Amino acid sequence: MLKHILISVFIIAFGIPAPAQKPVPIKNVDYAAYGQMIYWKALTREEKKVFLHAYLYRTHEIEKELQASRKLKSVTPRYQTEIAEPLFAIFRNLDENGKNDLIDWIDTFYQHEHNHKESFHKALRYAYQKLQTGAETMHDVYRRTYPE
């Protein structure tokens, strides 16, 4: 009798296919950009200043490495125009107060959840645009664009 019960349990457990779990679809997220956002939010104000200088220095290093590499020389002009030159222009035009304001605008950029997956470079460009335009409202932009 016990033998029949064990055989029945075995057949039920292994004979009937159990429904497999559906895989959870993973959204296409740039994990490096998300990591940059998390790292940025964890820093203090002074550490953020150091991070900005390190980011600038590393961009310069990468540019030099690309120029020296025979294999990657073809991507150097694109890297310079899309990443390096805009970044160098941002820092060329900043004083110490501007760096503090830049940090505040980057913080503001990352406060919005839809920006969490954006790269630090995009946050930097956003912050620099805000520094140039100031805290201009949409109404101000409309009045400036369409004067009466």
Q: What is d(CA 12, CA 23) in angstroms, rounded to the nearest whole number?
A: 25
Mean pLDDT of 7-35: 64
**Which tokens sit at 123?**
């946050």
pTM above 0.85, yes or no: no
Across 125-140, average pLDDT: 80
- DSSP for 44-98 reads -HHHHHHHHHHHHHHHHHHHHHHHH-SSSGGGHHHHIIIIIHHHHHHHHT--HHH
Residue 35 identity: G
pLDDT at residue 25 tops 80: no
pLDDT at 14 over 70: no
pLDDT category of residue 134 using cuts at 50, 70 and 90: confident
Residue 44 has a pLDDT of: 94
- What pLDDT is attached to residue 137? 73
Residue 19 has pLDDT above 60, yes or no: no
Q: At what angle do helices 85-92 and 45-68 cross, to 10 degrees?
A: 140
The domain spans of the chain are 31-143
- pLDDT tens profile 86-131: 889 888 888 878 888 899 999 999 999 888 888 898 999 999 888 8
Q: What is the pLDDT of the chain when averaged over all its residues?
A: 82
Per-residue confidence (pLDDT) for residue 132, from 0 to 100:
83
Question: Rounded distance, CA 79 to CA 137, Å?
Answer: 33
- What's the N-to-C CA distance of the chain in angstroms? 96
